[in-house]
Each structure stands twice: as C-alpha cells, then as structure tokens.
Structure 1
C-alpha cells in the first residue's frame, strides 16, 4: 500500500507560499486532499487572476521557502520539494473531481485552471460539505426525484428537498396501491404494505412482508411527517442527501410492487 513520505521533524516549521498564502511544510504534510483543496481554493479566490498553472502553485513555493521566523528565504531541497508537489497534486485532483475548478482558454498552452461556479460558491460558504453531499446524488436517481427533490437540494433547500422526496414516496404508494386520498402518511403505508395488502409481496414470508411495511412506516413517520407539519432544518446536507437516497430505494420498491400487482391482476 502506498504511503507518502513524511516531512522530517526539523523541516516542519519551514514555510512556503502557495499562490501567495504561506503554509508550513508540517501543515502541508498533515493536510488531507480535502484540506489542501480548500486551501488552494481560498488562495485562488483571494486573487484577481483568472487562471493558474501547476508552476504557479508549486514553482514559487519551491524557490521561496522561509524559516518560521520569516527572515531568511531559500529554495527547498530535493528531499523537501516532493512534499509540496504531492500537496498540489492532491489538492488539484480533489478540486477537479468535485468540479470546483475547470480549464481556462489558456489550457492549450498547458493545464491552467480557474474557479467554476460551484467553486466560487464553495469558497463563499467556506465549506465543501454541500459539494460532498451533492456528489452522493450524482448517480442516477428515480425520475420522480428529479422533479423537485434534486433541484431543491442543489439550491441548498435541504428541508424542502427531503419533503419533496418523501411526498413522492407517499403519492407513488397511493397510486400504485389504488387507494383513495383518505389514506395518508403512516396509515397509507400500513394499508398498502400490510400482509395481504395491495403492495405486499405474497411470495415472501410474512416476517419479510412486515419488515418492508416497517421500512415504509419508519421512513414516512420519521422524515415525511415532521417536515409536513412543522419547520425542520437540516444542518447537514449529507443527512438530507441520505434521506433522498432512502426515498430513491423506496420508490424502486414501489415500482417492483406495481409491476407485480399488475401481473397478478392480469392473471385473474
């Protein structure tokens, strides 16, 4: 397994400028790709320039290192330089993977990067938690979630996104089960998925049918009902994204139940 080399203890206080922002080799050595990426992102945001190359990020740092007292400047040694190069590679790779930077028109002369709209938004927030959560929703979701849940999530309206996702589950259950509007929320789930109910899988043992019933009752009771009846704030976009993923799973279970029910009706 690959393990990057560690900075010698005596070298940790040495500072280098990354896009004009000073950082010690010790902090560089300790930084994860996410921490490095945010450092580079903030440094880019603080400048008026539009594009940066690897040389901008690494070159100056390699030649303008200073001791912790800030008085003496020198070039990094061949042993110290790879630490800065690895830091830049990790940071740029992390930023590119999340769509926070993209190529400029100068890319024909080598890789030059600029902030994307998402990058500017992340820099303004000072956090990439929203971006990390959004990546969880980059995979294909059930089409019903693209109507409202995903757009609201991308705007940062997490509670509305959760409500939209769980409401789609409720509506889809009602339509698939052929039940009237008088049944809502948890009661609707119980009626639709009870053993022998219209969406229950008669081919499964009763205990498994009850488990699916509990899954739907729990999801609607815990995530849909509260947002329907009062203001609920989601401080963590990752939590909201996880609930939307749960809604995606439930919608797919409903689809399978709908197909199964149609087949049963056609055989009658």
Structure 2
C-alpha cells in the first residue's frame, strides 16, 4: 500500500490514495489470474468458485471454510464496488483523512489476504522444483 498510496496521501490527495490502493488490489488479482477483466466481475471470477481460483482464506475447519470463502468474496466485491468504483468513475469527491485511513487499512488487509495465494503458489513451485530434480 505504501508504494502506491503514500505519496498521494502525504500531499492530502486522500481520494486518489484510496483509489490507487484499490486499483493495486485489483491489479494484483488480475496478475494472479492472468486476466484483463476488471471490477466486480474480476472479483467473482477470482473468488466465487468452490474452490475459488484464488485462495484468501485461513480456515481449516470445513464447517466454517465455506462461510469464510463467501464472506471474503463479498468483501473483495464490496471493496471494488463501494470504494474503488466511485473514485474511479464518479465525481472527484474529497475523502476526509480519517475515513481514508480506514479504507487504506482495509485495502492493506485485502492485500495481506492475497499473500495467502502467493504463498500457496510459491510452495507449489518449490515442490515442483524438488520433484523435477
């Protein structure tokens, strides 16, 4: 988040900082999927399946895993629909600093959950490399 939002935030462009943060979340998912789809359709493509194409859950309990999957799907969709889209497509309304802080913290949380997928992919690549030797 710091890479994409810090400079904008420091100059008081909170709206732009928030938009940049959620665009970064979106871009990371596009990259993981190799997709050019954007917005809410991208989030559904990535997170709606069972299993989803991108894993962002931590639960190991089968009873709660499905709920967590669905919840994370809706959190990512909501973030794009409610936080990114108005800043990307609507009039440039100013965000206040406190609310921007909260939205940036939430974007950071979403990025942290995407770390789960990257760790899984890294582990799979290591296993594949070991078996190829």
Q: Show the 5 A alignment for 1:26-37.
A: none
1:188 to 33, 42, 45: 42
1:210 to 67, 70, 74: 70
Structure 1: give runs of 5+ residues left out of the alignment.
1-144
Q: Show the 5 A alignment for 1:119-158.
A: 145-158=1-14
Q: Show the 5 A alignment for 1:225-244.
A: 225-244=85-104
C-alpha contact 2:4 2:24 (8 A) present in aligned 1: no
C-alpha contact 2:26 2:38 (8 A) present in aligned 1: yes
| TM-score, normalising length: structure 1 | 0.42
Number of the residue aligned with 1:248: 108
Cα drift, residue 152 of structure 1: 0.5
Structure-1 separation of matches of 2:75 and 2:127: 29
| TM-score, normalising length: structure 2 | 0.80
Number of the residue aligned with 2:121: 261
Cα drift, residue 235 of structure 1: 4.4
Q: Which has the higher helix share?
A: 2
Q: How many residues align?
A: 122
Structure-2 separation of matches of 1:262 and 1:209: 21
Number of the residue aligned with 2:21: 165
Report the RMSD for the aligned CA atoms in angstroms.
2.1
Measured at CA, do residues 208 and 148 of structure 1 come closer, stay the same or move farther in structure 2, by a change above 3 Å? closer
Cα drift, residue 232 of structure 1: 3.3
Structure-2 separation of matches of 1:220 and 1:251: 13
